[in-house]
């Protein structure tokens, strides 16, 4: 997630006047597992209160809608319907007299089989410095761009020479590469691998590395961590980002011509780097011991640098307007790094640091990349094989369960059964990360309500929301077609790459000078499927990283019931 300047291009956009009217029946457009709680929302309800579930033109279930509710966050009056009793596999619609039928949806235990790999395969299309060949990329194949060899240090560093920093993912709708968000995103994907190591195995993604005997998920993450390793200076500190001074136009990578620079080191990026490299060590130590040791050595060097530079906040140099990922409070980064390094080494220095911390348990909306990494550390410390004192384990366990209960209780009272009441930049990240906390709470205390909390997040992302869109490109009957993403804008292909989570409703609307929102728009409707909407319709690597974990958790949990 980035400030609004990140993707504001340097030319003027035409204004767009909005989406077509959203479908009245809001439902998960993909569908439901047979054992799922199956609910939908009818917006702007009229006098009809009965509904039918229809299969092949034949009603197979009839129900009654709930009472009218007024939802202020969504700006709607609604009724809720439920058809949990319908479990037979098939394709269905919801029909209500006087309204158009719902989008078709499936009931199947395999309803997420295509979404999960697509949400990770999407990273392949963000690879920097390599051509995407047709055999892997299909119609979205393209030439390579930004080899990032012999990259100069930014003039603000007053440092001669160059570094080679190839590989890595483009961070979002722009062509920058950012250490903080890259490390955080890789960390979330590695958590997915730790919890579900058999999911997304070798050959599951159809990427160039498929067939090498290593999980495709790990292969894709390594493309990013290889780049992160190049960003470490000889003294252990880690450079914050690799970008141009400003954003280029909406063109393909090979056409995005501007001089790229490596910019100053910072405490936050160095600690995030230390954390994820310790995580890579654990993932690779039985696969590629040399690479694992390289990563662990790099992690320790970054930690040591941060100890001697504990408060170095990165600020964009004068004249630079690409993403800042700025922060001045590094407590979350310190905790994450100490947790992952302790897990990797069991050295007391890291545990002693953790034990001295006043650990609080609250969720900070709009701060995923900046505040959620503490929870990645906690989740690692609570892993079954973690050697931590029992008192610390109980403190962390009770804190996560209590927070999950707070979020679950909020979701019961808030619109569309979400735990989010502040719709900021990248709100779809908040929707997912609150669900990640519930999923981890379920592992600690298996309460079935947590499973429904996760399902509610997936339902919301896939169409049961205030705009009636699936927020995942390529999935659902009505999904984003005009994302704020330079390769998608420049490739001449109508449909974007499938599998990207767009930012979602953003009531701050930092793009309001380029995009016209309705007067008095409600927070949950502050979203536009138009390319200029960098504030709501951009994609970003950390908005995708919780999704594969949530799907893997949800499907496995239902199957184990």
pLDDT tens profile 248-300:
999 999 999 999 999 999 999 999 999 999 999 999 999 999 999 999 999 99
pLDDT computed for residue 1 by the predictor: 41
Q: Is 202 a catalytic residue?
A: no
Q: Is 529 a catalytic residue?
A: yes
The separation between the first and the last C-alpha atoms of the chain, rounded to the nearest angstrom, is 35
C-alpha distances in angstroms, 133 versus 130, 140, 144, 245, 351? Answer: 9, 9, 9, 30, 46
pLDDT computed for residue 521 by the predictor: 98
421: helix, strand or coil: coil
Choosing from 76, 224, 245, 529, the catalytic residue is 529
Q: How far apart are CA 355 and CA 372, in angstroms?
A: 19
Choosing from 171, 174, 220, 224, the catalytic residue is 174
pLDDT computed for residue 386 by the predictor: 80
The answer to whether 284 touches 306, Cβ cutoff 8 Å, is no
pLDDT computed for residue 47 by the predictor: 83
Q: How far apart are CA 364 and CA 371, in angstroms?
A: 7
Q: Is 347 a catalytic residue?
A: no
Choosing from 136, 193, 484, 485, the catalytic residue is 484
Residues (pLDDT < 50) of the chain are 1-22
Residues 6+ apart with CB under 8 A from 24: 42, 43, 44, 99, 100, 468
385: tokens are 């094989």
Q: What is the CATH number of domain 112-388?
A: 1.50.10.10
Instruction: Kindly tell me the sign of the dihedral angle through the C-alpha atoms of 372, 374, 377, 383.
Output: negative
Q: How far apart are CA 229 and CA 225, in angstroms?
A: 6
Return the residue matching tokens 């804008």.
Answer: 489
CA 128 to chain CA centroid, Å, is 19
pLDDT computed for residue 384 by the predictor: 84
pLDDT computed for residue 5 by the predictor: 34
Q: What's the pTM? A: 0.95
- Sorted by where each begins, the domain ranges of the chain are 112-388
491: tokens are 């490739």
pLDDT computed for residue 45 by the predictor: 78
Strand order across the 50-55 sheet: 31-32, 105-107, 90-95, 50-55, 58-64
Q: Is 76 a catalytic residue?
A: no
pLDDT computed for residue 501 by the predictor: 98
C-alpha distances in angstroms, 367 versus 3, 122, 396? Answer: 11, 23, 21
């Amino acid at each position: 997630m980035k400030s609004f300047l990140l993707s504001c291009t340097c030319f003027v956009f035409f204004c767009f006047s909005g989406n077509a009217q959203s479908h009245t029946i809001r439902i998960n457009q993909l569908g439901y597992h047979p054992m799922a709680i199956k609910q939908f929302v009818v917006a702007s309800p009229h006098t009809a209160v009965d509904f039918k579930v229809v299969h092949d033109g034949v009603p197979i279930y009839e129900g009654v809608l709930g009472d009218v509710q007024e939802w202020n966050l969504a700006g709607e009056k609604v009724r809720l319907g439920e058809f949990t009793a319908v479990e037979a596999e098939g394709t269905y619609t919801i029909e209500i007299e006087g309204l158009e039928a719902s989008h078709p949806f499936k009931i199947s235990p395999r309803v997420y089989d295509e979404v999960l790999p697509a949400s990770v395969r999407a990273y392949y299309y963000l690879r920097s410095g390599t051509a995407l060949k047709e055999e892997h990329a299909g119609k979205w194949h393209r030439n390579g761009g930004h080899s990032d060899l012999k990259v100069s240090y930014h003039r603000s560093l007053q440092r001669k020479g160059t570094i080679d920093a190839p590989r890595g993912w483009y961070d979002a709708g722009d062509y920058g590469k950012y250490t903080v968000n890259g490390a955080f995103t890789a960390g979330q994907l590695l958590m997915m691998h730790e919890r579900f190591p058999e999911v997304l195995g070798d050959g599951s993604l159809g990427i160039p590395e498929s067939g090498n005997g290593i999980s495709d998920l790990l292969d894709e993450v390594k493309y990013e961590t290889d780049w992160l390793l190049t960003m470490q200076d000889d003294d252990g500190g880690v450079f914050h980002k690799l970008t141009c001074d400003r954003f280029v136009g909406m063109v393909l990578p090979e056409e995005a011509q501007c001089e790229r620079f490596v910019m100053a080191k910072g405490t936050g990026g160095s600690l995030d780097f230390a954390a994820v490299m310790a995580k890579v060590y654990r993932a690779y130590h039985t696969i590629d011991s040399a690479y694992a040791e390289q990563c662990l050595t790099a992690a320790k060097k970054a930690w040591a640098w941060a100890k001697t530079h504990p408060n170095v906040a990165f600020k964009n140099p004068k004249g630079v307007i690409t993403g800042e990922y700025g922060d001045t409070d590094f407590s979350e980064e310190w905790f994450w790094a100490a947790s992952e390094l302790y897990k990797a080494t069991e050295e007391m220095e890291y545990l002693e640091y953790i034990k001295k911390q006043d650990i609080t348990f609250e969720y900070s909306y709009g701060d995923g990349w900046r505040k959620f990494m503490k929870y990645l550390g906690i989740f690692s410390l609570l892993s079954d094989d973690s050697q931590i004192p029992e008192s610390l384990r109980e403190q962390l366990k009770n804190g996560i369960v209590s927070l999950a209960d707070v979020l679950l209780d909020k979701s019961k009272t808030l619109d569309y059964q979400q735990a989010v009441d502040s719709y900021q930049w990248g709100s779809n990240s908040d929707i997912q990360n609150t669900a990640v906390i519930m999923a981890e709470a379920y592992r600690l205390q298996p309460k079935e309500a947590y499973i429904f909390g996760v399902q509610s997040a997936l339902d919301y992302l896939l169409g049961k929301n205030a705009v009636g869109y699936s927020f995942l490109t390529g999935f659902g009957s009505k999904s984003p077609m005009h994302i704020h993403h330079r390769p998608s804008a420049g490739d001449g292909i109508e449909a974007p790459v499938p599998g990207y989570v767009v930012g979602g409703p953003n009531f701050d609307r930092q793009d309001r000078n380029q995009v016209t929102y309705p007067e008095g728009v409600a927070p949950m409707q502050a979203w536009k499927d138009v390319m200029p909407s960098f504030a709501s319709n951009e994609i970003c690597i950390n908005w995708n990283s919780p999704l594969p974990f949530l799907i893997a958790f949800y499907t496995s949990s239902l199957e184990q019931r």
